[in-house]
Structure 1
């Protein structure tokens, strides 16, 4: 995507901006102020502002955004600076607390998708600049490294979008299945060996006798992964069920991922398992949000949690 294309919004990017900017701003006036802050001239905003003043119900946030974006996108040369600044404000948007609470995860997902389209992820941008300035920028190894970083950045952004999209899914089965896919993708990105969900059948034709959400390998140690998206916190019953799978496998350990946290009984059950040399690390989805938002290394994060479980007997730590 060359510079001209980047700042003359193509249809896909244009529609994403129309959907995103209203969500980033709570009120109609705030939408206009957002455009004004990006340097959009008052002559392009005045009629809309006057319309709101005379009848605030005469137009909605999305119509305001579409009208202004259409105006600055029609003249390719006249509004390059404004389009560039507006795009910069969207992709650098970090504080989503100004959004309505119900829109915050959706807003994060949309901004992540826009970042991916315009290729402005900070890490890749720095690598591109380094490529242009470094003496070895034409070497095969260097180009390969840049390509790997670009691919990894795109994978992380796509996984972010899919992760935040989970919170808008109301069907439990669909949400649970997609949660498995998102987390397996995240593990793979950070080099954690993954075996996706599998079912074990009985030897005598009993059909499926055991279902496991996934298996990962960290430091040559196998961990059976269980994921639950429940309304209530995970208690001892679910913990003991997963421990049963661990006890039936030599040298296996476990990880339990919950969307709703863990009750005291669940945490106690995990601590008691340590007495039997079984490590069961407890993790909630808030930790994955923290990892994604702060660009932490997932592998190192889990290694720290595992050390905390072994040394301090704290299976539910947040390093």
Structure 2
């Protein structure tokens, strides 16, 4: 279908709007992929290392260079981005309202530049139902941050609780929900035994035993030796994740016993970094495991990065 040429001003406005309507790169990329039909080109951009505007600019420029293939997708991006009128997904990141204001202004400028482009694109209008489905998928992704924030608020409430038994049961559910949120496949509900939570999960083709403690004193090396014994009783490649919300004694980090070399350690500060959204749980586990493999140190403080 032959359509009128897209102006340079409209393309600049599109780049600006795309860079502002989503805060997280993952959500922006998903919105673009769901909007386009020929979305393979999206994977040719380095979304992780590039700033958002640079990634968007590279994508649009590459599409413009091959308009015979991507003209309809450019028009779809123009239309779908200019149709955005709900910016509530920015609220979590936008205490002062600056992000929302910038997003609204950039979308308004895009609308002003795109008037008249879609009069002959009946195919796009007929795809309204699919567009709504795509928007729902993006909203589902955005709700991730909201669910994580709910878990954070629950944890902060638990931290002030004086009922240690009740705190333990609620922590059991919180950790279970957290591991489900990050698709870490808890094999069975995490079970509370005394001050200790036991469970298991799978990550990156490795099975992990989980042990979590929330007590008034730091975990000592004896606790790690007991956990190491549990791990050694499982299949050869089974690993362990020990979570101590009140930290570890110096003997835990100084021990050279081979029985602890199949586990990695997390503390309460690590957990708060995950709940704050500063690092994803699966990324934290990967970094700690890689560091332990490279150095033999099972207690790597992510906060020091």
TM-score grouping bracket, smaller chain normalisation? 0.5 to 0.7
2:179 aligned with 1:179: no
2:264 aligned with 1:289: no
The CA distance in 2 between the partners of 1:258 and 1:277, in whole Å, is 15
The CA distance in 2 between the partners of 1:313 and 1:188, in whole Å, is 29
2:203 aligned with 1:197: no
Relative contact order: is structure 1 or structure 2 higher (C-alpha 8 Å, sep ≥ 6)? 2
Distance 1:154 1:182, change over 3 A: same
Structure 1's unaligned 5+ residue stretches are 1-116, 200-207
The CA distance in 2 between the partners of 1:277 and 1:231, in whole Å, is 23
8 Å CA contact 1:279, 1:310 repeated in 2:
no
8 Å CA contact 2:89, 2:142 repeated in 1:
no
2:242 aligned with 1:249: no
The CA distance in 2 between the partners of 1:268 and 1:244, in whole Å, is 19
Residues 1-319 of structure 1 aligned to structure 2 (within 5 Å) = 120-122=91-93, 138=128, 139-195=131-187, 196-198=189-191, 213-250=198-235, 251-269=237-255, 271-273=256-258, 278-319=261-302
Question: Please, what is the CA RMSD of the aligned residues?
Answer: 3.3
The CA distance in 1 between the partners of 2:251 and 2:107, in whole Å, is 54
The CA distance in 2 between the partners of 1:257 and 1:277, in whole Å, is 14
Query: 1:294 Cα deviation (Å)?
Result: 4.8
Structure 2's unaligned 5+ residue stretches are 1-87, 112-117, 119-123
The CA distance in 1 between the partners of 2:166 and 2:270, in whole Å, is 22
8 Å CA contact 1:176, 1:229 repeated in 2:
yes
Distance 1:174 1:233, change over 3 A: same
* TM-score (normalizing by structure 2): 0.54
SS at structure 2 position matched to 1:121? helix
Query: 1:308 Cα deviation (Å)?
Result: 0.6
Matched residue count: 188
8 Å CA contact 1:279, 1:309 repeated in 2:
no
